[in-house]
Amino acid sequence: MKLKNKVAVVTGGANGIGRAMCERFAAEGARAVVIADCDEDRAEQLAKEINGLAVRTNVAVEADIVNLVKQAIEAYGPIDVFCSNAGIGTPGGADEPNEVWQRIWDVNVMAHIYAARAVLPGMLVRGEGYIVATASAAGLLTQIGSAPYSVTKHAAVAFAEWLSITHGEAGIKVSCLCPQGVNTDLLRQSAGGPGEFLRANALEPEDVADAVVKAVEEERFLILPHPEVAEYFLRKATDYDRWLRGMRRLQSSFKAKG
Q: Exposed e or buried b for every residue in 189-202, given b needs 16+ CB within 10 A?
A: ebeebbbebbeeeb
Please enumerate in sequence order all residues whose Cβ is within 8 A of that of 132, keeping only pairs 6 or more positions apart, or say none. Answer: 81, 82, 83, 84, 85, 174, 175, 176, 177, 212, 216, 223
Q: Which of 130, 149, 232, 240 is catalytic?
A: 149
CA 241 to CA 169: how far, in whole Å? 36
Phi and psi at residue 88, to the nearest 5°: -135, 165
What one-letter code names the amino acid at 85? N
The total number of residues shown for the chain amounts to 258
Contact of 181 with 201, CB cutoff 8 Å: yes
Which helix (H) or strand (E) segment holds residue 162: the answer is helix 147-167
Asked about 232 being catalytic, the answer comes back as no
Phi and psi at residue 9, to the nearest 5°: -120, 135
CA 119 to CA 151: how far, in whole Å? 25
What one-letter code names the amino acid at 231? E
Contact of 156 with 139, CB cutoff 8 Å: yes
Which residues are tagged catalytic? 149
